[in-house]
Chain A
């Protein structure tokens, strides 16, 4: 996995330690690998040990997985050039569990992230990545709504929504052609979800 921001690394190392300690089968298989590697399964992790080459995006094209991860990555980066520790953890958690992404190999995950970084190099907004992803996103029932909900959750992961993030969500809803009522419904619930705070 590409080097994370310095602030995120200790936290991710801690998570690695806990997860690997609790799941000894994974610990045996994934010793020496990071959580980003560990979360994708034995077969894929072993491919790292034997030095499997990075997949060629030119051959693979920009399919559904590329698009979904691109939008989650864009959501995480919508307010800054780097990911907050909470956003990095949430991005990894989502990639680990969503039906679209959970089978993604670590090589492809890394290749996609590198592709996104390259696409955003020298730009001060993530809109190019959003447009590219939405243009290639398959038209599947409920996919746009699912991605928007995941992105809204991602944006709220650091417990505040700044104006850049708010703008990102408005643009994303528009690119995904979500209705105003569906957008509001999702935003309302994601705001509720992220309202955990000290006891009042």
Chain B
């Protein structure tokens, strides 16, 4: 993982979380209404994000939508988000679980989404055991 940037340049935890979830939704270059609703619904209920205004999360979403066909730019956002992500292991596990769930939000997990999940798990240093448990339950949850 790259060294952390100066505090003034770092993204807030909320922005890191929202970005990772939104990038997971956008990585296949399409944003379905299901995925966008899921991302915004999460923004409304996650403890870190629920006090943000919808305008704020919408602004972040707009920024990502504007670059959705530019894979290099999308991946750069993902890298920034993991680089600035809080070091708290439980928050890292939580965001991975949300992204894994998001990858199934349109009822199919694509290769690009799997690659992104691999990257997030590795960059956030998730243990293999935790990741396997999360993947298994999210696959099970989204089966029916």
Contact = CB atoms under 8 A, between A and B. Distances in A.
A14 B50 CA distance: 14
Given A192-B97, A197-B47, A198-B47, A18 B54 contact: yes
A193 B104 CA distance: 15
Interface stretch (A51-59, A93-101, A127-135): A93-101
A190 interface: yes
Q: Please indicate which of the listed interface residues B40, B95, B136 has the most CB atoms of chain A within 10 Å of its own CB.
A: B40
Interface residues of A, number: 50
B97 A97 contact: no
A197 B98 CA distance: 13
Interface in A140-158: 140, 142-143, 145-147, 149-150, 153, 157-158
A159 B138 CA distance: 19
Interface in B14-69: 17, 31, 33-34, 36-38, 40-41, 44-50, 54, 58, 65
A194 B94 contact: yes
A200 interface: yes
Contacts of A45: none
Contact of A39 (B37, B46, B107): B37
Interface string A164-186: 00000000000000000000011
7 contacts: A22-B36, A86-B45, A188-B133, A192-B97, A195-B91, A196-B48, A197-B48
Going nearest first, the 4 A-B pairs with the smallest beta carbon separation are A193-B97, A149-B141, A189-B137, A146-B144
